[in-house]
Structure 1
Amino acid sequence: MSSSVFVIGANGYIGLGVALAFRRAGYRVYGLIRNEKLANTLLKNEIEPVVAQAFDDVQQFTDILNTCSIIIDAVGYQPKLSRALLDAAVRIGNNRTQDGKLAHYAPLYIFTSGIMTYGDTSSTGRRPVDEMVKPRPPLSATGHSSGSSTSDVTAMKEREDFENLVLATSSTALKTTVVRPGFVYGGQGGFVADLFYSESEPLVFQGRRDMRWSWVHIDDLGEGYVAIGRAPHVVVDKQLYNLAAPNDNPTYEELRIAMAKAQGRKEKFEYKEVKPGVPTRWDTDSIINPAKAMNELGWRPRHVGFVEEIETYYKSWVAHRSNAK
C-alpha cells in the first residue's frame, strides 16, 4: 500500500475531508495550502502543511511531491491551474520512473471534478447515470442548450475535456483517475451549504421544485478517495468514479422545506424562475449511480441521508461559522 499522500487544496471543504480520511486510514498526509494561518488546522489533525501562495509554483514543493505515491487535486477545475498541476504530476512521474522504465514507482494522480459535468440527466427519468453515460450540455430555463446558457455549456464542456485529458495522460510514469463527487454535505459545509442555508424571508424557491441532485456526506466522500488510493494503481488507472450515496436524491422542494424546519423558520414560500445570470446547471437534475465504486472498490457510504439528519448538519454548520468569526 502507498503510504504518503499529497492533497492540493487541503484547506478547502473537500480537500480537508479527503486529507482527514487518508490520515484516519494511516497514511502520511501532506496538505498544500496558500495561507500559513491555516497551517494550525492541519497540524491539529496530524496533517503536515505545505504552504505555497501560488499552487502552480510547483518548485516550492517538488521535493515533497517526489516522496508521495498519491497526488490529489482537490481544488476542482480551474483551466490554467488544473493544467499546471497535471503537468507537474507528469514531470514528477517521469523523473521518478526514469521516463517510465521503472513503472512500479509511478504515482497515482486523482483529479476532483463534479457531477455537474453530466449536465441535465432528466432525459433518463429517475434512473441514475453511471460513468458510461456521455455528458450532455446543461439546458437553459427555456429548455434550449443555447442563448443565455452558452457560457454554462462552454464551462461544462471544458471540464469534461479536461477530465478526458487527465485520463488520456496516463502512462507507465503516471496513473490517473477522475472522481465526480455528488453534492457534499456535513461538518463545516461548503459553498452549497452557504447558499442553501440562507435565511431570506420568505423562503424563495428558484427554478424547478422537483429537480433532484445526488448527495454524499464529506466523510463518506473521503472514504471513497481512500478506497481508490488503496486499490492497486493499475486497477484504478484511467478510471472515472461517481461518488454519491445511492438513493440520496431528494427533490429541491423537500430539501429546502427540511432546511427551513431545521432553522425553525416559518413555512412561507415563494416560487420564482431562475434569476437571470444564475448558471442554468443549477436548474437541472443530476442523479448519479455510484455502483462502480461500490462493486469494484468495496466503497460503502455509511450516512443515512441529507434530509434525514438535516438538523444535525445545520447545527454543525452554524457552530463552524461561529468559530470562524
Structure 2
Amino acid sequence: MKVLVTGATGYAGFYAAIALRMSGHHVYGLTRDDSKPRAQELQKHEVELAISDVSKPDSYRQFIEDSDAIVHAMMDFENPQNTDLTLFDTLQSVAESSNRNRCFVYTTGCSIYGKRPERVMDETTPPNPNHKLAFRMELEQKLFAMPIPNCQKVVLRPGFMYGLDGKSSITGMWFQMGEQGKAIYRGDKDKGWSWVHVRDLAEAYVRVVESSKAIDGEVFCIAEEQRPKCIEIMRACLKAADYNGEIEFGEPQEDDVTSVWFDQNEFITSQKARRLLGWVPQHIGVIDEIETYYSAWKASQ
C-alpha cells in the first residue's frame, strides 16, 4: 500500500513511518522542512518525503489522492481544531472524486479525558467537558460523522510515549533535569499515567493499516497495563541520570502545558486493541529498563 504519515518528523510519526516502510509499504512522510535531521533519517529508511504543511491542504492533497492509508500522527498546536477539520474536509473531497478504498487513522491520546472519577478509562469513557483537550474527542466524533466514501476511519489514543531517542518525550525532559542538576515536579504527587514504548505504538499503526477486519468507526486505547505514579518514573529518570539531589515540588503553571493539561490520573486499558487487533506491547515497561532508555536518549543528543 501507499501510506501518507503526517508529522513524520515528530516522535510518533517518525517511528510509525519507519515501521510502515519496514512492513513493505511505500510511505510518504509529510514534513515542512526536509533539512531536519529526522527528515534525512527518514530518507535513509526509504521513506519518501512529502514536503507540505498540514494546515495548507493544497500542499498535500496530491499525496492523499495517491495514498491507500493516511496516518495523522500530529497535532497543530497553533490551530489544532481548524487544521484537523481542514484535513478531514480534504480527505472527504478527495474520496468523493475517487473510487479508491482508503484507511484514515486519527491520533489523539489518553490526555483527552481530563479529570474523571474512573481509575482506569477505556474507549467508552466520556471526557470531562471542562478539560482543555476535550475538544479532541469532539473532533473524533466529527470525523466519524462525516460521510467519507470508501474510507475506513479509526482512532488511536496512545498513552505517554517513551523509548528510543526520546527527544519529544516527558522522560527525556526528566533525564535533562537530572543532567542539569535541578528537578521540579509540578502538580498532583499522586497522579499516574499510562505509557507505551514508541516502537509498540508504531506497531499499532501497522496493525490498523493492515487490518482485514471491519474496524471502521473504532477507537483503540494503546498502552501498557502497568500504572505507575508519575513521581516514581521521574525519580527513576533522575537516578538514571545520576541525580541524587532533592526534587522541588510546585503548583502547575500556565506556561507549562505538561503541568496543566496532564495534572490528573490518565490510566487507560488496551484490552480492546489486544482483542481486535492482536496488538500486544513487546516492551516490559518504562521503569524496568530506564537505564537503557536513558542511554538511548543521551546518545541522540
- Structure 2 length normalisation: TM-score? 0.90
Give the deviation of 1:176 after TM superposition: 1.0
The residue number in structure 2 matching 1:117 is 112
1:239 aligns with 2:218: yes
Q: For residues 76 and 314 of structure 1, what CA distance do their matches in structure 2 show?
A: 26
Q: For residues 216 and 28 of structure 1, what CA distance do their matches in structure 2 show?
A: 26
Q: For residues 27 and 204 of structure 1, what CA distance do their matches in structure 2 show?
A: 43
The residue number in structure 1 matching 2:42 is 42
The residue number in structure 2 matching 1:101 is none
Match of 1:284 among 239, 252, 264: 264
- After TM superposition, the structure 1 = structure 2 runs for residues 1-325 of structure 1, keeping only pairs within 5 Å, are 3-38=1-36, 39-52=39-52, 54-76=53-75, 78-97=80-99, 105-121=100-116, 123-125=117-119, 128-137=120-129, 153=131, 155-189=132-166, 190-199=168-177, 201-232=181-212, 235-247=214-226, 249-275=227-253, 277-279=255-257, 280-321=260-301
Q: For residues 276 and 75 of structure 1, what CA distance do their matches in structure 2 show?
A: 22
Q: Write out per-residue CA displacement over residues 123-179 of structure 1, whole angstroms, 9 at most, x where no aligned residue.
A: 223xx2110111124xxxxxxx5xxxxxxx3x3232121111112125433221111
Q: For residues 208 and 158 of structure 1, what CA distance do their matches in structure 2 show?
A: 23
Give the deviation of 1:76 after TM superposition: 2.2
Q: For residues 91 and 74 of structure 2, what CA distance do their matches in structure 1 show?
A: 15
Equivalent position amino acid for 1:80 in 2:
N
Equivalent position amino acid for 2:189 in 1:
R
Asked whether the 8 Å contact 1:70–1:107 carries over to 2, the reply is yes
Q: Where does the alignment leave 5 or more consecutive residues of structure 1 unmatched?
A: 98-104, 138-144, 146-152
Q: For residues 287 and 159 of structure 1, what CA distance do their matches in structure 2 show?
A: 17
Asked whether the 8 Å contact 2:42–2:48 carries over to 1, the reply is yes
Q: For residues 230 and 37 of structure 1, what CA distance do their matches in structure 2 show?
A: 31
Asked whether the 8 Å contact 1:90–1:173 carries over to 2, the reply is no
Asked whether the 8 Å contact 2:4–2:64 carries over to 1, the reply is yes
Equivalent position amino acid for 1:218 in 2:
V
Q: For residues 66 and 37 of structure 1, what CA distance do their matches in structure 2 show?
A: 25
Give the deviation of 1:88 after TM superposition: 1.2
Q: For residues 8 and 267 of structure 1, what CA distance do their matches in structure 2 show?
A: 40
Q: Write out per-residue CA displacement over residues 259-311 of structure 1, whole angstroms, 9 at most, x where no aligned residue.
A: 11100011422333323554433210000010111101100100000011111
Give the deviation of 1:241 after TM superposition: 0.8
Asked whether the 8 Å contact 1:227–1:299 carries over to 2, the reply is yes
Larger radius of gyration: 1
Q: For residues 16 and 182 of structure 2, what CA distance do their matches in structure 1 show?
A: 36
Secondary structure of the equivalent of 2:253? coil
Equivalent position amino acid for 1:46 in 2:
E
Equivalent position amino acid for 1:62 in 2:
R
Secondary structure of the equivalent of 1:307? coil
Q: Write out per-residue CA displacement over residues 224-275 of structure 1, whole angstroms, 9 at most, x where no aligned residue.
A: 011111113x62211111011122x211121111011100011422333323
Equivalent position amino acid for 1:47 in 2:
V
Taking only aligned residues, the RMSD between alpha carbons, in angstroms, comes to 1.9
Asked whether the 8 Å contact 1:8–1:32 carries over to 2, the reply is yes
Asked whether the 8 Å contact 1:208–1:252 carries over to 2, the reply is no
Deviates more, 1:88-97 or 1:304-313: 88-97
Secondary structure of the equivalent of 2:74? coil
Give the deviation of 1:194 after TM superposition: 4.1
Q: For residues 277 and 28 of structure 1, what CA distance do their matches in structure 2 show?
A: 40
Equivalent position amino acid for 1:307 in 2:
I
Q: For residues 120 and 17 of structure 1, what CA distance do their matches in structure 2 show?
A: 30
Q: Where does the alignment leave 5 or more consecutive residues of structure 2 unmatched?
A: none
Q: For residues 8 and 270 of structure 1, what CA distance do their matches in structure 2 show?
A: 37
Identity %: 29
Q: Write out per-residue CA displacement over residues 102-132 of structure 1, whole angstroms, 9 at most, x where no aligned residue.
A: xxx32111111111111124x223xx21101
Q: For residues 281 and 36 of structure 1, what CA distance do their matches in structure 2 show?
A: 31
Q: 1:170 to 1:309 in 2, by over 3 A?
A: farther
